[in-house]
Structure formats: C-alpha cells, structure tokens
Amino acid sequence: MENEAIHRAAGLVCFNDPQNIEPLSGGITNVNLTVDDGDKKFVVRLGDDIEEHGVRRWNELAVSQAAARAGFSPNVVHFEPGVLVLEFLEAVTFQEADVRTVENLPRIIELVARVHRELGTELTTPVLAFWPFQVNRTYIARLQAEGSSHKTILPDMLKRSTMLETAVGQVDLVIGHNDLLAANILDDGKRLWLIDWEYAGFNSPLFDLAGLASNNGLSESQEHAMLEQYFGILSEQQWKSYQAMKCASLMRETLWSMTSEIYSTLDFDYASYTAENIERFDTALAVFTNP
C-alpha cells in the first residue's frame, strides 16, 4: 500500500519535480505523505469516500477550502478524486498532554470558538450535517448487520444513545470540526491550526467541546474552565447537556473503532483502541448517571 501511495503521489499533475516522498505518521483513516517539490513541501492525503464512516470527500474539500480561507487550516493546492494536496506546515503536532497544559488549553478553546463563529461565513456550497446520535444509530445498525464481535453490547448502547439525545436537549448549530483529536491540532510557534476536516459539518458546539475533553483526558475542573471560557456563565442545564454530549462523543469514537475493526486495511490496532474507548465511555456514563 505504501509503495502504491508513493507512486500515485509522484504522478500528480500539481508537482513539477516531486522528491523525498515519505509517509506521514499519525493518520488512522487515510494514507498521508509528505512531498518536496522545488523549495516547497506539501502533504498528500489519499483516501476515497468511506461509506461505513459517512465520509464524503466533496464535503471534506468544501470545508478544507473554507477553513483555509478563514485562516484555520493550510491552503488546498490540488484535489482530484481520492486525493487532497495541502501546503505543509512547519509545526508541532500536539499530543494529548500538550492539549491539557495551562498554556495551550485556553488557546485551543479560543480557536474552536472562532471556528464556530467564523467558518460558516466562508462556505460557498452546501455541506453535510453531523448529528452524533444519528451517526451512532447508523454505526450500531451496520455493526449488527455485519455480526460484529461486539454485537452483545450494541442493544444497550442504542438505548443509552436515545437517553443521551433526550438529555442533550435543544441545541444551536455551528460548523464543527467533529474530530478534535490532539493529532489534528498543530502549533507553529506563533499560532494554532486545525487539520483533517473529513467529519466536519453542522453540529452542536457541545460536540467539539466534548470531543476535545474526552479525546484528551481533561479533568473536571478543566472542563468547567473550558465551558466558562466558551459560554461565559455556565448554567446547570448547560453542564448537564455537555456531559450527555461527552458520553455521545465517546460512544461515537467507540463505534467508529468497532467499525474500523471490520473494514479498515490500515496498520493500526483498532481492537485496543476500541477497548480504550469503551472504558472511557463507561467512566463518563457513570459520572453522568450518578452525579
């Protein structure tokens, strides 16, 4: 697969003299490469639509272009079916521990808030919605049909998803990133960037905030500080809605990994990732149901 990816990247018409084509680590959905061309460096993302995850590359392209125009993401320099070429950023890729520091967390929250306020104004085409409860129902139905090894726990997950959706209640809509893993946050020493918009779409701002917390191990005090920075005064109902969405976010990541166990051909230990996320989900659900 790696050799095929390198061969495909080398043949892209956007390059004059592609050199030093190397795999870029960190991706667990796509094949990513770096390419030198003259005095510039680029990232090549290779990946077709992913039916089982609801990924549509036209949607990723539209939001990536809007995010670049808004200054949140590197410029898109080329696209064709299955290929997205971006400018390379000389930046540090965050780890979970980086997200949690007192220096970085407020910067990240500020960036997320700006994305929610400003990104939609840069969109010039329709984009998808990403409602996590429908996403989770779709995953559960597919996993049941495929006879997943986790099928015995799926009926309970479906019931819990319905309960959590009711608990979230009425929401506002923003264009969300919807995949706030630490690896999607870059720091160039002056400012932060967001990358990988393949799950982007209309959603509640609570989902990005919940994903940021659950994916990066924020403490409860950090969660309160995050929500207060984002919303100002934090009401009891907002806290309850946020906790429910945090559980939904963790359920989605768990179901995503269960599905990837069946379908993905990438060299990644999805079974261990599933187990890790089940534990995170169970912990969050216990806190939500027994405050």
Tens of pLDDT along the chain (291 residues) come to 678 999 999 999 999 999 999 998 766 678 899 999 999 999 999 999 999 999 999 999 999 999 999 999 999 999 999 999 999 999 999 999 999 999 999 999 999 999 999 999 999 999 999 999 999 999 999 999 999 999 999 999 999 999 999 999 999 999 999 999 999 999 999 999 999 999 999 999 999 999 999 999 999 999 999 999 999 988 999 999 999 999 999 999 999 999 999 999 888 899 999 999 999 999 999 999 987
Domains of the chain: 2-87 (3.30.200.20), 92-289 (3.90.1200.10)
How far from chain centre, in Å, is Cα 100? 17
Question: What does DSSP assign to residue 184?
Answer: G
Six-digit token pair at 117? Answer: 């306020």
Closest residue by Cα to residue 254 from 134, 162, 142, 139: 139
d(CA 50, CA 30) in angstroms, rounded, equals 10
pTM for the structure as a whole: 0.94
